[in-house]
Amino acid sequence: MPPRPSRPVPWRRLRQLPALALLWFAGSLVAGATALDDASSGCLEALLRGLGWRIETDEAGQARVVEGTPCRRGSLAEAQAAGDLRLVLPARLGPDDRRRLLREALDTQASRCAYAFELGDAARRAAARLQGNPGYRFSAVQLGWIGFGLRGARAQGWERFRSFGRGYRPVVGNARAIEAFYSGHVRSDCGVGRQVAQLATLRELYGDAAFDRAFAAPELSIGTFMTLHGTDSILLGRHAGELFADGKAEKTAALGRQAFMGAPGFIEHVFDRTSLDDINNQAENFVVVDVDAAAAEALAAHGGLRHYDAVNRRIWELARRMPQTGYRRFERLLYERDEDLRAALPPEHQALVASMQALLDDPFYRGFMIYVHPQGVRPIGYHVARLLDRNPRTPYSIDLALHNLHTTLYRRWIDSRLEACAASIAGTDH
């Protein structure tokens, strides 16, 4: 897709974002961004270039922002090759106007999409570390939501603030606390697993030293979701700020694949709890780590996730026409594509499996990659198949959860980068 045509930028006021972007990015950087208030043009320009913007000088023309559609690209290099992320500044622009335009560029949809490339890389690194730790386990038999084993919480960088494992916060360093889940011995449910993946993504995004500086320990609290609401949690508590609600991903899908990076979500039973046979699989909490081009196109074409709830229902209806035998039967038939198992079915059941497989061959089910504790990173179709085995009496729906990746957390990250730049300049001046 070609980049959007360039256009002059008003110098005396912030340029209006597209209406869709306003729905996604509910607030501007100006609110509460103290480092931005004092940032020099040099630091602003360095940050924009670090995000992938190409800043050019025009000897005679007007200032122009060419945002393009970076959220629809597979990589920053692809976005740049398509002509996205270009900022043209007049050579004779005064210092105040130059600084203003650089600030405006940071507040665009395109800058948030460029940040999403880094966010996606961070989410994938975090997920790889978490799933690579055999000591991070899931157990239904535990005293609370989180268990730190024989060594205890404090020895692994955490301290308890709620009873029965319902709430912990870091002690002696944020990065060290996340390391417990990378290399220590911990147990938790998938809800805490999602929180840890979100916080680990921030560690990977910032780097250890900046991660320790940027967040107070209570902001990285983990525990039951109800517990987090009463804390300073940066995810869902008092410090979360603006939360973006797009449960069925209509807005996110319209923006493109990078808009999903790092987003939390959940797969949840549709019928009430009396339909559950395996209470430990009543829901699965996830973090999105990748969305390929075909999956993104399918989501955009169908307007988000609501269409796939209907497909999930149809798959479940077909599964109900087969006898329930074997703990991993549908997982083997539909995800592992076990030909021997399929060949052993009577012809009428083979036809049902073929119909289910055709539905699961939609690009969304194959290319929408999520991290779930303890299964690790897998396509979302795997989870749809395995839940047919775990709770065969209910279909499942898919939602994005409330998040602040592109509001509060984006502003905090911008602040951190600008503060580091200012400190570096101050250090060279002495």
Q: What is the pLDDT of residues 17-69, one digit of tens each?
A: 333 333 444 455 655 546 888 899 999 999 999 999 999 998 878 899 999 99
Residue 294 lies in a domain: yes
**pLDDT score for 428:** 66
Burial letters 165-188, b for 16+ CB under 10 A, else e? bbbbbbbeebbebbbbbbebbbbb
Is residue 150 very low, low, confident or very high in pLDDT (cuts 50, 70, 90)? Answer: confident
pTM value surpassing 0.85: yes
Q: Which residues contact 80 (CB under 8 A, 6 or more apart)?
A: 52, 54
| Better-scored residue on pLDDT, 266 or 12 | 266
Token pair listed for 46: 């360095």
pLDDT bin (cut points 50, 70, 90) of residue 300 is very high
- Residue 354 CA neighbour count, 13 Å, CB half: 8
Cβ atoms of 388 and 17 closer than 8 Å? no
137 domain-assigned: no
Hey, what amino acid is at 48? L
Mind listing the pLDDT tens digit for each residue in 195-225? 999 999 999 999 999 999 999 999 999 999 9
pLDDT band at 97 (very low <50, low <70, confident <90, very high): very high
Q: Which residue has the higher pLDDT, 139 or 123?
A: 123
Domain span at residue 92 reads 1-17+32-107
Q: Pick the closest to residue 312 from 290, 334, 291 (CA basis).
A: 334
Cα 329 to Cα 385: distance, rounded to the nearest angstrom: 9
> Is 58 within a domain?
yes
Omega prior to 374 cis, within 30 of 0: yes
Residue 417, in any domain of the structure? no
**Tens of pLDDT, residues 366-395:** 999 999 999 999 999 999 999 999 999 999
Confidence of residue 234 (pLDDT cuts 50, 70, 90): very high
Rounded to 10 degrees, what is the CA torsion of 259, 260, 261, 267? 170
Is residue 46 domain-resident?
Answer: yes
Q: How far apart are CA 103 and CA 326, in angstroms?
A: 59
Picking from 364, 224, 227, the residue whose alpha carbon sits closest to that of residue 299 is 364
List Cα–Cα distances, 224 to 146, 167, 179, 420, in angstroms: 9, 7, 20, 34
Residue 126 forms part of a structural domain: no
Per-residue pLDDT at 85: 98
Determine, yes or no, domain membership for 22. Answer: no
Query: At residue 101, does pLDDT exceed 70?
Result: yes
CA dist., res. 47 & res. 344, Å (int): 60
- 346 has a pLDDT exceeding 70: yes
Token readout for 259 is 């808009």
Give the residue among 361, 425, 414 at the shortest CA–CA distance from 107: 414
Give the residue from 107, 131, 164 where a domain finishes. 107
CB atoms under 10 Å from CB of 273, counted, come to 9
The pLDDT tens digits for 235-284 are: 999 999 999 999 999 999 999 999 999 999 999 999 999 999 999 999 99
Q: What is residue 28's predicted lDDT score, i.e. its pLDDT?
A: 57
- The reported pLDDT for the residue numbered 149 is 87
Q: pLDDT above 90 covers what percent of the chain?
A: 82
Least confident of 131-145, 184-198, 218-232, 308-322: 131-145
408 falls within a domain: no
Domain count, the chain: 2
Mean pLDDT along residues 292-296:
99
- Where does a domain end: 78, 107, 136? 107
Query: End of a domain among 87, 107, 127?
Result: 107
